[in-house]
């Protein structure tokens, strides 16, 4: 609904409307990127650089147990995919879709046409995620024969929650087995205010966020349709169990949208019941220094890379030395880019697709099952306890 600030009270009073809030924007997940400018696929050198995939697959031993099949599909809700990438094209099944409307975010992206078939990745994030799941070429993913399908909700800028809901519903209706979401945003259960940036008027929006309610409904819908949702815990180094800390962070994050929160902050979709929430670890199986965390919040951890050396050398003014010595190769993750190449990155975004891939392998091995049963199997069969 497009409406003025004054319409909030009218909207909330309408029959059938349980909650309303201004559209919350989602930023592309923050992650460092380093171009893989020296990789030559002709010499098959990539496997030696994939310490993260080696860690997940026990140096490739898991491939002997199974590499997946096109009978199982992971729906990737992200920035789209490089449909011609030599490492991705083998596993890209038909049906990818674009949910970014004409004009893009708030009409600020004139190159966005709104064409449902325009699922090409113009950022690189979605292709990187796809490579970790089902790369099969110069690089290998965790499940290199598993089907993947792209549901594009980001261009080069922000997204709106409604686009993400639509993509999740479409993926479930398409029958995908796993929905992989390397993205996150914040909601609150408490008192919400909106400060009009033009008039300065402070409007009380009530004690619930429509965004949170909508996410619960969507997750419930896709779960009942048989799709397991796997989502990133986020890269803010915040204890998500400490609701005061989350709310303070949230006010800093969304203050520019005119929203002000009092209450308990949550990250979505990771905080929604039924979602597998993934935090990130580094090369030493220790929580990554950027990863969100918290008891009762994180369900499973996977390798997403670390930034300890990166941050240290940057703080000491020695970033050029960090790059020259290629130190990123020991803590960043290598995967596909949107231009037929590869790049190094870190984040819970890089950990999430690896869990999605393992879930897909479990389905391929044990057969179709309910998301609840798949979650149980994931926690029993697919983890090293800590």
Query: How far is residue 68 from each of residues 64, 71, 292, 381, measured CA to CA in Å?
Result: 11, 8, 30, 16
- Which H/E stretch holds residue 233? none
CA distance 42 to 37: 14
- Which H/E stretch holds residue 193? strand 185-195
Of 125, 128, 184, 227, the catalytic one is 125
Asked whether 79 and 126 are in contact (CB, 8 A), the reply is yes
Asked whether 138 and 44 are in contact (CB, 8 A), the reply is yes
CA distance 374 to 379: 9
For the question of residue 349 being annotated catalytic, the response is yes
CA distance 28 to 253: 13
Of 291, 337, 345, 349, the catalytic one is 349
Of 31, 52, 78, 306, the catalytic one is 78
Q: Cα(first)–Cα(last) distance of the chain, in Å?
A: 47
Query: Active-site residue numbers?
Result: 78, 125, 349
């Amino acid at each position: 609904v497009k409406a003025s600030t004054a319409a909030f009270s009218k909207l909330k009073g309408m029959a059938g409307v349980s909650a309303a809030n201004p559209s919350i924007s989602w930023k592309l997940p923050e992650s460092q990127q380093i171009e893989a400018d020296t990789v030559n696929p002709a010499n098959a050198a990539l496997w030696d650089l994939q310490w993260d995939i080696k860690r997940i697959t026990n140096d490739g031993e898991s491939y002997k147990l199974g590499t997946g099949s096109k009978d199982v599909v992971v729906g990737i809700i992200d920035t789209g995919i490089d449909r011609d990438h030599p490492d991705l094209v083998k596993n890209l099944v038909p049906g990818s879709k674009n949910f970014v409307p004409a004009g893009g975010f708030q009409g600020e992206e004139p190159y966005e046409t709104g064409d449902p078939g325009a699922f090409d990745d113009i950022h690189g994030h979605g292709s990187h995620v796809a490579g970790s799941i089902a790369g099969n070429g110069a690089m290998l993913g965790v499940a290199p024969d598993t089907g993947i399908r792209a549901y594009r909700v980001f261009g080069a800028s922000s997204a709106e929650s409604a686009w993400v809901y639509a993509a999740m519903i479409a993926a479930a209706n398409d029958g995908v087995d796993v929905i992989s979401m390397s993205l996150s945003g914040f909601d609150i259960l408490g008192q919400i205010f909106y400060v009009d940036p033009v008039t300065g008027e402070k409007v009380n929006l009530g004690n619930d966020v429509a965004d949170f309610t909508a996410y619960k409904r969507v997750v419930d819908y896709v779960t009942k349709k048989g799709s397991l949702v796997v989502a990133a815990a986020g890269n803010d180094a915040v204890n998500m169990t400490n609701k005061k800390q989350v709310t303070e962070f949230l006010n800093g994050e969304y203050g520019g949208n005119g929203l002000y929160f009092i209450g308990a902050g949550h990250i979505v979709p990771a905080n929604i019941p039924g979602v597998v929430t993934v935090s990130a670890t580094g090369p030493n199986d220790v929580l990554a220094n950027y990863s969100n965390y918290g008891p009762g919040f994180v369900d499973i951890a996977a390798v997403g890379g670390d930034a300890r050396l990166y941050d240290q050398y940057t703080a000491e003014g020695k970033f050029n030395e960090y790059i020259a010595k290629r130190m990123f190769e020991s803590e960043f993750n290598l995967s596909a880019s949107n231009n037929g190449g590869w790049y190094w990155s870190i984040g819970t975004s890089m950990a999430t697709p690896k869990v999605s891939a393992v879930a897909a392998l479990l389905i391929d091995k044990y057969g179709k099952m309910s998301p609840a049963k798949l979650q149980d199997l994931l926690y029993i069969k697919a983890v090293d306890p800590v």
